[in-house]
Amino acid sequence: MKALVTRPLQDAASLAAALSARGIEPLVEPLLTIRPVADAARRLPPLLRGAQAVLFTSVNGVRAFAAATELRELPAFAVGDATAAAARAAGFPLVMSAGGNVADLARLVIDRLQPRDGALVHAAAREVAGDLAGSLNAAGFSLRRAVLYEAVAATRLSAATAAALAERSVAFALFFSPRTAASFVRLVAAAGLAEACRGIVALALSEAVAAVLGALAWREIRVAEAPNAAALVAALDFDLADRARPGPPSAKQEAPA
């Protein structure tokens, strides 16, 4: 039994280990490659002047920020616990986690900070998901977006993944973002392998990810109960337990045919 891991290579190792521990062969297929912006170290310092906090919406944002500057004095607000852990590991002494998504992060910032105390700096990619700026601007905050890295989409499936799909040996596929899901939908169609998805359980980090995956016909789509890797693995565990249980399978969220 194989599971397709679509995360960027830097983030795939722990997930691959969790799959291996369950007797599932991980097939790592990074559909996005994370690349730092060449002039990030030059562009970041002016954005930090007078700022009261830095906001991180991904672990990649923490990595890019840490590579671009040695400054760690500002409070760090993180979208979730994994991102918060990365910020602490990078040396930020004061880190707060929203434990959810971008909307949760905005609410946390609005609850803890005051607009009059200075601007906020978002360590961001070239393309961002959600409307963090809109939510914070509406609350009176000034948000400076520091573009520190980019996520470059894959242009084709690897030979190993194409072969595994063709031979119908993939049981699960794990997706963490709408953009990754969209890349897979595009690439699997271009490879003429869309029909292979009918035998695969797609595990989606959020309803937004599931909506994009709905362009394909899957065995089923399961959505994690929380937007983090642990919850996504828990959804996989539920499916494994469901398969092992005698009798008809439990009610599931079916993808459109």
Q: From CA 55, how far away is CA 120, in angstroms rounded?
A: 7
Are 205 and 177 in contact by the 8 Å Cβ rule? The answer is: yes
Which parts of 189-243 are beta strand (E)? 201-204, 220-223
* Selection from 257, 163, 180, 175 nearest residue 223 by Cα: 175
pLDDT at 229: 87
CATH architecture for the domain at 34-152? 3-Layer(aba) Sandwich (3.40)
Q: DSSP letter for 198, please.
A: G
Provide CATH code, domain 2-31+154-244.
3.40.50.10090
Ordered mean pLDDT values, 10 residues apiece, the chain (257 residues): 91 91 95 91 94 96 96 96 95 95 95 97 87 95 96 94 97 94 96 96 94 96 90 91 68 38
Both tokens of residue 131?
């409307």
Domain coordinates in residue numbering, the chain: 2-31+154-244, 34-152
On the question of a common fold for 2-31+154-244 and 34-152, the answer reads: yes
Residue 205, both tokens: 């980090």
Structural tokens at position 241: 């337990």
Q: Are 199 and 172 in contact (CB under 8 A)?
A: no
Please give the pLDDT value at position 255.
37
State pTM to two decimals.
Answer: 0.79
Handedness of CA 88, 92, 93, 97 (dihedral sign): negative
* Residue 236 identity (one-letter amino acid): L
Whole-number pLDDT of residue 227? 84
Residue bearing tokens 């691959």: 16
User: Residue 247: its pLDDT value, please?
Assistant: 59
Do 15 and 26 meet the contact criterion of CB atoms below 8 Å apart? Answer: yes
pLDDT number for residue 251 = 43
pLDDT at 201: 96
141 and 53 Cβ atoms separated by less than 8 Å:
no
